[in-house]
Amino acid sequence: MATKEIIRLENIRRNFIVGNETVHALRGVTFTINAGEFVTIMGTSGSGKSTLLNILGCLDTPTSGEYYLDGIPVKSMGKNDRSTLRNRKIGFVFQSYNLLPKTTALENVELPLMYNSSISAKMRHELASKALDAVGLSDRKNHKSNQMSGGQQQRVAIARALVNDPVIILADEATGNLDTRTSFEILVLFQELHARGRTIVFVTHNPELSSYSSRNIVLRDGKVISDTSNKKQASALEMLQKLPVETD
Amino acid sequence: MNLTNLTKIALKALYNNKMRCFLTMLGIIIGVASVITMLAIGQGSKRSIREQISEMGSNMIMIHPGNMERGGVRQEASSMQTLKLTDYKAIDEKTEYVSACSPSVNSSGQFIYGANNYPSTIYGITEDYLDIRKLSVEEGNMFTPQDVLTSAKVCLVGKTVADNLFPNGESPIGKVIRFNKIPFKIIGTLTPKGYNSMGMDQDDMVLAPYTTVQKRILAITYLQGIYCSALSEELTPQATEEIGRILRKNHKIKEGEDDDFEIRSQEELSSMLSSTTDMMTVLLACIAGISLLVGGIGIMNIMYVSVTERTREIGLRMSIGARGIDILAQFLIEAVLISVTGGIIGVLLGVGASAVVNVVFNWPVYVQAYSVVLSFFVCTITGIFFGWYPARKAANLDPIEAIRYE
């Protein structure tokens, strides 16, 4: 099953011009990610992982090199085409959830489908409802975003990333704003999604998280310095159960 | 781009910011309401000014015989005898734009009552003359068609004549005055009108049946003039043209030949009227423009702040697949919804305020359909115009920066 190529990076370089200097954020990154992988991308700040994430997410284009997403070359695409590509192929999960305020969970999850005119209102509703079921929020569908805890909000965000049935889920420090227990709950959810065959790229600076993924890529100074697959994935669920129950 | 979805998104965004939305609308509401109320008051006063000016006889048309050359000598117009009674009858019967018509013959001379005498003019006319010249009877009665038929020796006197012939303040009604040794019984007095804009005393006149003046005083069969009033001030040109046609036909004037008569209307009053109303329109248009401009700037200001405030939201929308044009459309729709809703409320408020002004201050108001349509249209345009810049700013945001904007 894990043979289909979802992401293929070929010698990706990304330069930024700041004043008179050229900053090399990425200096030739090459790797592929196949369907069904759960990849963590690690690196300290300044390692280029945010730039890489932006390129993977089609928010940015490389200065040189080619990026294929699900077989589609992205580098030469225009802004609007990339928007549509994101809408159909990518699910984003951000550190700070980025839900619309004063809006129900269901409406938040429906949002990506609002920008896809081929999906009817009824279908949109059904898909959003299903996505919320998948993240375990069946009973919170009509709660507004400000009536939910951080963990619940992040679950809504994950449901939103799932709703368009993307080829890849890109998570940017998705547990960064959560306490340990909730972080593990979210990790459990990611592992569940992975188990169901989802391809996930999880960008983080937290090295502990690498043990829960199936593969770990480490970036430093814009280059891949290690790319290891993890045969013995730790179970986040077990860790969660070992955590002391909060009493206060 | 799916407009239905974008409208839903915009509506939702507005609903989430009800207060801000209302405050933005307030500018448009006040703008539109004030425009409609102003225009209603303006139109109302325009109409009442128009009525007052036409009281002065702006729709009056005077027909006089034209001067002609006779053996190379240009004759004085008043000596021409081309206007006949048949002309008057033809105008009276055949025109569509003339509401009243009276022949006119006059004679100047000394009026005598007892030891007093006063030089004035006696006008031979029909009852219609009062309407045409906007005269009215103060005391007594106007003469009747019967008096005209029988060439009765009755007359009405103006205030100046009455004051001079009856200096002791006695009532002139029923008294008999003499003109050219012919006795006239006074059957009424005219309401004083004072001097006109040319400095002529409009009360220095005596009115009598035209038949009486024609036969008993002047002993002529022609008319010295015909006075008409058009149905309204605006229809005066049509009436003038129509009268010209009838007279040319009556006088058997061939194509290309000059008229043997002259038709004059109160052009001075007409032009005064139109310049007054034009000025008023320009003034109101200025006020209307300023109000809507202020409302529009209000929209732009709020939309601008809103774009900054919602940078994260915009970033998110873009990262999940909204194109620049989707964002642009959303913000434009928001702006248009605000301004159109504000416009509707403003129209209702304006019509209401006009009614209140009418009832409470007793001012004449008149709400025109076009002012409602116009202001509605203008506020939609305002919404698009002033929403455009902030919307474009939102659409051009970089999603990478917008999503991480604090």
Same domain, B313 and B366: yes
* Contact A45/B at CB under 8 A: no
Same domain, B313 and B354: yes
Chain B residues close to A83, C-beta within 8 Å: 318, 321-324, 326
Chain B residues close to A80, C-beta within 8 Å: 323-325
Residue A36 has pLDDT above 50, yes or no: yes
In-domain check, residue A76: no
User: Which amino acid, A76?
Assistant: S
Number of domains, chain B: 2
| Contact between chains at A83 and B312 (C-beta distance less than 8 A) | no
* Contact A116/B at CB under 8 A: yes
Same domain, B117 and B222: yes
Structural element, H or E, at residue B382? helix B369-395
Give the residue numbers spanning the domain of B292. Answer: 3-52+273-403
| Contact between chains at B324 and A79 (C-beta distance less than 8 A) | yes
* Contact A146/B at CB under 8 A: no
Chain A residues close to B319, C-beta within 8 Å: 57, 59, 86, 92
**CA closest to B399 among chain A residues:** A59
Same domain, B245 and B327: no
Same domain, B354 and B206: no
Of B265, B299, B314, the residue at which a domain comes to its end is B265
Q: What angle do CA B9, B10, B15 make, to 5 degrees?
A: 100
Residue of B323, B326, B396 to mutate when probing chain A, most A C-beta within 10 A: B323
Same domain, B191 and B259: yes
Residue A1 has pLDDT above 50, yes or no: no
Number of domains, chain A: 1
In this predicted model, what pLDDT tens digit does every residue of B324-368 receive, in sequence order? 899 999 888 888 888 888 888 988 998 998 899 888 888 888 888
Residue of A98, A119, A144 to mutate when probing chain B, most B C-beta within 10 A: A98
State whether residue B166 is helix, strand or coil. coil
| Contact between chains at A60 and B400 (C-beta distance less than 8 A) | yes
- Distance, C-alpha A114 to centroid of its chain: 20
| Contact between chains at A160 and B325 (C-beta distance less than 8 A) | no
Chain A residues close to B312, C-beta within 8 Å: 98
In this predicted model, what pLDDT tens digit does every residue of A144-172 receive, in sequence order? 998 999 999 999 999 999 999 999 999 99
Q: What is the pLDDT of residue B91?
A: 87
Distance from CA of A201 to the nearest CA of B (A): 16
Chain B residues close to A107, C-beta within 8 Å: 12
Residue A245 has pLDDT above 80, yes or no: no
State ipTM: 0.90
The dihedral over CA atoms of A48, A50, A56, A62, expressed in degrees to the nearest 10, equals: -50
| Contact between chains at B323 and A80 (C-beta distance less than 8 A) | yes
Interface of B with A (CB under 8 A): 1-2, 5-6, 8-9, 12, 16, 312-313, 315-326, 399-400, 403
Same domain, B193 and B134: yes
| Contact between chains at B400 and A86 (C-beta distance less than 8 A) | no
Residue A39 has pLDDT above 90, yes or no: yes
The tokens for B291 are 């109000």
pLDDT along chain B (406 residues), means of 10: 80 85 85 83 77 73 77 68 86 86 91 91 91 87 90 92 89 90 92 78 90 90 89 82 87 81 77 74 76 79 84 90 90 87 89 89 82 80 83 89 82
| Contact between chains at A100 and B403 (C-beta distance less than 8 A) | no
Task: Give the whole-angstrom CA distance, residue A180 versus residue A175.
Answer: 9
Distance from CA of A124 to the nearest CA of B (A): 11
Q: What is the pLDDT of residue A133?
A: 93
Q: What is the CATH number of the domain that holds A42?
A: 3.40.50.300
Chain B residues close to A57, C-beta within 8 Å: 319
Same domain, B88 and B218: yes
Of B241, B265, B289, the residue at which a domain comes to its end is B265
**Average pLDDT of chain A, as a whole number:** 90
DSSP assignments along B255-319, one per residue: TTSPPSEEEEE-HHHHHHHHHHHHHHHHHHHHHHHHHHHHHHHHHHHHHHHHHHHTHHHHHHHHH
**A225 CB-near residues (< 8 Å, 6+ apart):** A218, A219
Same domain, B123 and B41: no
Residue A2 has pLDDT above 60, yes or no: no
In-domain check, residue A6: no
Q: What is the pLDDT of residue A152?
A: 93
pTM (2 d.p.) = 0.69
Same domain, B343 and B367: yes
Give the residue numbers spanning the domain of A129. Answer: 37-51+86-241
Same domain, B285 and B350: yes
